[in-house]
Amino acid sequence: MCLAIPAEVTRLLPDAMAVVTIDGVSKEISVALIEDLAVGDYVIIHVGYALTKIDPEEARRTLELLRELSIEGQGAAP
């Protein structure tokens, strides 16, 4: 199973790279597949690549659902 998650673009770098933030964690990724990207845009990332832009509200809802799943999963027995 593959998981792609939304992240906010916080800085554009040379050579089709960018820094994104996911829940306060920054990561450098490739944005070679995305045109017209700007700081503040949200993208879906998978294994270090931005795949597509995503609506900011949809990104926030998805991240909130992931947080809820994480909290619920912390109480589960191994």
Q: Domain containing 61 — which CATH number?
A: 2.30.30.140
Domain that holds residue 60: 5-74
The whole-number pLDDT of residue 53 equals 97
The whole-model pTM stands at 0.83
Q: How many CB atoms lie within 10 A of CB 56?
A: 13
The whole-number pLDDT of residue 67 equals 86
One DSSP character per residue, the chain reads ----EEEEEEEEETTTEEEEEETTEEEEEE-TT-SS--TT-EEEEETTEEEEEE-HHHHHHHHHHHHHHHHHHHTS--
The whole-number pLDDT of residue 73 equals 67
pLDDT band, residue 57 (cuts 50/70/90): very high
Q: What is the mean pLDDT of residues 10-17?
A: 98
Number of domains in the chain: 1
pLDDT band, residue 4 (cuts 50/70/90): confident
